[in-house]
Amino acid sequence: MAPSDEVELISGSDKWKPFFRDVVPLLCIFFVVIGSMLVGWASPTESAAFGVVASFIASVCYGTLNKKSFLVSVVETAKISAVILFILVSSTTFSQILSFSGATTGLLNTFMGFDLSPFMVVIIMVVTLLILGCFTDQISMIMLTLPFFIPLANNLQIDLIWFGVLILIAMEISLLTPPFGLLLLVMQGVAPAGTRLSMVYKAAFPFLLLQVSVLILLVLFPEISKFLPALIK
């Protein structure tokens, strides 16, 4: 049923030129950031700085670096950094208030009284994040839950790398969970006129199942989450 179309023959050089022009520089930036951590040359913060330098060199080579683009990149970076710092300050203040008030200790004692296994506690925390993700944003979820979850995970000797990956996956899933999944609203905003939100929900459902499957695999097989960190010597 597809219409016939004439296929234009392209020479070898015309095929490879876009690859080296558009793909290879991006791969180089990726390898500079991730590769420097994997081989032990840099910490995550230092690898991010390497990524900035690589991006700067790429923009110079492409001829897109000018005063306007440089100022925009600096301002946008400052905005993101300020937001992250405010989150850190707020979450630290919140966790200290909980600690001084005894709320964290009270929650730990309550959970210990239930005599739950660490696995069951992790399931409860992940389910809590999935439910919160239906109604609130990720920053609020972090500030509300981590001051409780991290001390609880430490007390139960839960692997924090594995637990951190579970939290990130759960928050990623929350971007697709109705009724207030942020990505669902973004998708409706860029969809053709007349696209109903229920249609977006239906279209996103298979991807939501895939993410939940990944979360289940990580819960059942924790060693998956430590595969890449184990490569860093």
My answer on whether 116 and 178 are in the same domain is: yes
My answer on whether 107 and 199 are in the same domain is: yes
Give pLDDT, residue 45.
87
Q: Is the pLDDT of residue 15 over 80?
A: no
My answer on whether 199 and 116 are in the same domain is: yes
- Residue 85 domain flag: no
Instruction: Tell me which residue range forms the domain holding 39.
Output: 15-65
pLDDT digits (tens, 9 = 90+) for 143-193: 778 878 888 888 888 888 888 888 889 888 888 887 777 788 778 878 888
What is the model's pTM?
Answer: 0.62
My answer on whether 36 and 113 are in the same domain is: no
Phi-psi region for residue 94, left (φ > 0), alpha (ψ -120 to 50) or beta? alpha
Angle, alpha carbons 188-190-192 (nearest 5°) = 80
- Residue 192 domain flag: yes
- Residue 136 domain flag: yes
Taking the alpha carbons at both ends of the chain, their separation in whole angstroms is: 55
Structural domain count, the chain: 2
Question: DSSP per residue over 7-56, as a string?
Answer: PPP--HHHHHHHIIIIIHHHHHHHIIIIIHHHTTS--HHHHHHHHHHHHH
- Residue 70 domain flag: no
pLDDT digits (tens, 9 = 90+) for 43-97: 888 998 999 999 999 998 888 888 898 899 899 889 888 877 887 787 778 777 8
Give the list of residues 6+ apart from residue 229 with CB closer than 8 angstroms, or none.
161
My answer on whether 107 and 190 are in the same domain is: yes
Q: Is the pLDDT of residue 233 over 60?
A: no
- Residue 129 domain flag: yes
- Residue 162 domain flag: yes
My answer on whether 139 and 207 are in the same domain is: yes
